[in-house]
A and B are shown apart, each in its own frame.
Chain A
Amino acid sequence: MTKEHITFGLLSDLHDEVLNAARKDSLMEHLGGCPACGREYEELGRMVRMVSCLRVIGIRSRDDFCRATLSRVILCERKRKRHLYYKRVIPSAVAAMVIFLVGIDQFQNGPTGERRSGARIASSASGGELAREIGSAYDMRRTMSILRKNRARVTMVTDGYIEAEVPSRFVDGIQRECDGSFSTGMHGFATAVGYTEGGIQDGLILSSGFVHQRPADQSRNVRLRIILR
């Protein structure tokens, strides 16, 4: 039997039975002959038993905790599944959209990136109307901008054409700008113009002159129509 008192740590280990058999026997032998250590060990045991009685602490049954928690768990699970679904679907949708847009772009501009010709000489069905065709909404906006800049008064815009009145002295400027505007695809094409008097004049004037002007026409307003494709 050991003469020294057992440390509290050893008593605690002994209580929890985490010592090997030899050590345990030695300590038990000491406890049998040492009232101080025996009392300490007994008090430790009582205390642990009292603490373990706190196991009665628990959730009040009336709170119906289990059902409430399960409801929340089910809700969260549904939310998580929805989130996972969107996480899978959204990138696919974005990818599909990108492919679609790239496809459209390729279709419009061709695989080399060159823009397809958007304008062509119109064969004027009414015979002799001033005509020019533009291939896209961009061209339309660009044309409107050129017209406004050259003091043209836009009189009509339809899906098919733009009509405007412009002092005849600005007509050449309009043609220059249109010719210089490669993006509009107007370069090199003839544009026909007519005179306001008596409505739009028949006939088509080729690209060497946007308008066949006479000195007397300088102050007159010219009415032109640009046909959109």
Chain B
Amino acid sequence: MSDKSDLEVIDRVLAGDIEAFSAIIEKYQDRIFRYAYSRVYNYDEALDITQEVFLMAMEALRSFRREAKFSTWMFSIMVNYCKNYRKKRDRFPSVGLSRSEGGDEFEIPIPDERQTPEDDVVTGDTLRIVKEELYALPDDYKEILVLRDIEGLAYGDIARILGIHLSNVKVRIHRGRELLKKRLAERGLL
């Protein structure tokens, strides 16, 4: 679904067809979930955050001025919500019933062998290590690598979403990749 069709859906929702919002949910649910999961590293919390982001987006839909792409606007809500969520959680820490320090029990639904177009064989174990190392990066690097390398967003969109300068985006991507590469090399993946 392109940005144009996003706008068509929004028009329908604003005209009163709330059910049409399901198209937006289906399109963005996994992308928002992945970002949220990278921030909280807990499946249930990430699911709650994802749902809240959609509720906030629906509430703020009338204020969407269509100056930026809808996806950028949506991701901005997501980033801000996650930031506030982290702040709130750090201020009022709670003890989860099934949460352990090292992460949660959520297993990545990865096929045992995954063939990439470049003929790299990426196994489930490899991806688990990549996930661990990526999520262990400092927040600034982690979030930018998630947006760039997983979600494939352009530098300009990332700058708008995070509210930082383009040069800053580049620097963070370089440093994040450099650090991740070093850690993956230590784990024997490169």
Which residues does A use to contact B, with CB under 8 Å? 8-9, 12-13, 16, 18, 43-60, 63, 65-70, 72-74, 76-77, 80
Which of A8, A63, A67, A80 is the one whose CB lies under 8 Å from B59? A80
Please give, as numbers and ranges, the residues of chain A lying within 8 Å of B22 by CB-CB distance: 66-67, 70
Which of B50, B122, B152 is the one whose CB lies under 8 Å from A50? B122
Please give, as numbers and ranges, the residues of chain A lying within 8 Å of B173 by CB-CB distance: 12, 16
Which residues does B use to contact A, with CB under 8 Å? 18-19, 21-22, 25-26, 29-30, 33-34, 37, 47, 50-51, 54-55, 58-59, 108-110, 114, 116, 118, 120, 122, 126-127, 130-131, 134, 145, 148-152, 155, 170-171, 173-174, 177-178, 180-181, 184-185, 189-190
Whether B180 contacts A51 by the Cβ 8 Å rule is yes
How many whole Å from A199's CB to the nearest CB in chain B? Answer: 77
Whether B50 contacts A52 by the Cβ 8 Å rule is no
Please give, as numbers and ranges, the residues of chain A lying within 8 Å of B149 by CB-CB distance: 48, 51-52
Most buried by A among B37, B55, B130, B149: B149
Which of B34, B51, B109, B126 is the one whose CB lies under 8 Å from A69? B51
Instruction: Find the A residue at minimum CB distance from B166.
Output: A18
Given A43-B181, A65-B47; A73-B55 close (CB under 8 Å): yes
Please give, as numbers and ranges, the residues of chain B lying within 8 Å of A49 by CB-CB distance: 116, 118, 120, 122
Please give, as numbers and ranges, the residues of chain A lying within 8 Å of B174 by CB-CB distance: 8-9, 12-13
What are 5 pairs between A and B in contact, CB < 8 Å? A12-B173, A18-B170, A57-B33, A57-B108, A66-B22
Whether A57 contacts B34 by the Cβ 8 Å rule is yes
Given A50-B130, A53-B114, A57-B108; A73-B26 close (CB under 8 Å): no
Given A47-B190, A49-B118, A54-B108; A69-B54 close (CB under 8 Å): yes
Whether A51 contacts B145 by the Cβ 8 Å rule is yes
Whether A76 contacts B51 by the Cβ 8 Å rule is no
Given A66-B25, A77-B58; A47-B180 close (CB under 8 Å): yes
| Given A69-B50, A70-B19, 14 other A-B residues pairs in contact with their CB atoms under 8 A | A8-B178, A44-B181, A47-B190, A51-B134, A52-B149, A53-B114, A54-B127, A54-B130, A54-B131, A57-B37, A66-B29, A69-B29, A70-B25, A77-B18
How many whole Å from A81's CB to the nearest CB in chain B? Answer: 10
Whether B155 contacts A16 by the Cβ 8 Å rule is yes
How many whole Å from B121's CB to the nearest CB in chain A? Answer: 11
Report the bound CA distance from A52 to B184 in whole Å. Answer: 14
Whether B34 contacts A54 by the Cβ 8 Å rule is yes
Please give, as numbers and ranges, the residues of chain A lying within 8 Å of B21 by CB-CB distance: 70, 73
Whether A50 contacts B120 by the Cβ 8 Å rule is yes
Instruction: Find the B residue at minimum CB distance from A7.
Output: B174
